[in-house]
Structure 1
Amino acid sequence: MTEDTFNHAERSGFIERLGRLAGSTTWREPDGSGYTPPVAGALSPGNAMVLALSMARRNPKDVGPHIAYSVGTGQPHRRQQVVEWLADKLLRGTGPAGKKAERQLLVIAGQAYDLCIGMRQKVIPPRGAVTEFTLLVNVGAGWLWVAMEAAVERAERSLYGREGNVEKVDA
């Protein structure tokens, strides 16, 4: 297991998807500025993204929208709630490795969160860490990414009224 297991290259495509939820895009025509003036009565791009992500929430404990918002803004959002959720998930879902690292799971989950949202580039086990520390951080970052991807897929369906790539048609 290397420290480069978590793939940061997927971030740009994900941020483009968040931009589409917010009603904007990074695509620009070569001869245009890409600027669209605000329209009275229209949602601001930030509010549109927050609305779409809130529609993606399955239940009050769903952390996917929080993670997506953090990746989109580059700022931690409800970090403690997400870290506690992930530490509990790691304890329940990683068998003996999670049990062995139980006392360090909050630190592990914190590094996984920071890795996922782009605030950390490398896993740094603290002194006295369990041997599975890096493995658990990468597993946690993967679980956070999956939760975030699922939330954005639900947001896209909610906002655009689509199932997959096909628009819903009332028959």
Structure 2
Amino acid sequence: MPRASSILSSLLYLGSVFAQDASTTSSTVPTGTPVPGNYDGALRPQLHFSPPKGFMVYNPTADVAGNQHWGHATTTDGYTFENQPIALFPPNNETFVFSGSAVVDANNTSGYFPGQDNGVVAVYTLSNNTSQNQNVAFSKDGGYTFEPYEGNPVIDIGSTQFRDPQVIINTDQDLAHSN
């Protein structure tokens, strides 16, 4: 299962740690190509991961929080990373993609991947000024592109403080919890 372990060791640098005002969004988000990065700075890590620009709260258009997306990078050794195109986009300019988790669904437990062993399911928070809810997206190409589930949000408790879902797969059952 080398492909699955490569995907599992891939890093999806996730949405935000802080709720932000939606007025900071931008329509100049790059699609289909990796965001170029400059890793030559004196304080930029040369080993392990850092986003192509800014900080870990991934805003592809500015060096400040706001306009959160799921950036995407892959690794085969856990030390060196290759930037990929953005993995998850917010559905509109008033909503941000916050953190969550992604798992390789090698046994097609989700039902999205018949005949595949490299499908990836992402569970994440969408946040705006009035709510935070849990959503699902799936990838049929090993985690490079994601399609949001038509039935999103899958969990909405009507709260502005409900985020960061984590999914764990074990051999007996799939477990999920949200902070």
Q: Provide TM-score, normalisation by structure 1.
A: 0.24
Q: Provide TM-score, normalisation by structure 2.
A: 0.23
The structure where strand makes up a greater share of residues is 2
The structure where helix makes up a greater share of residues is 1
Please identify the structure whose Cα radius of gyration is greater.
Answer: 1
Q: Which has the higher contact order (CA 8 A, sep 6+)?
A: 1
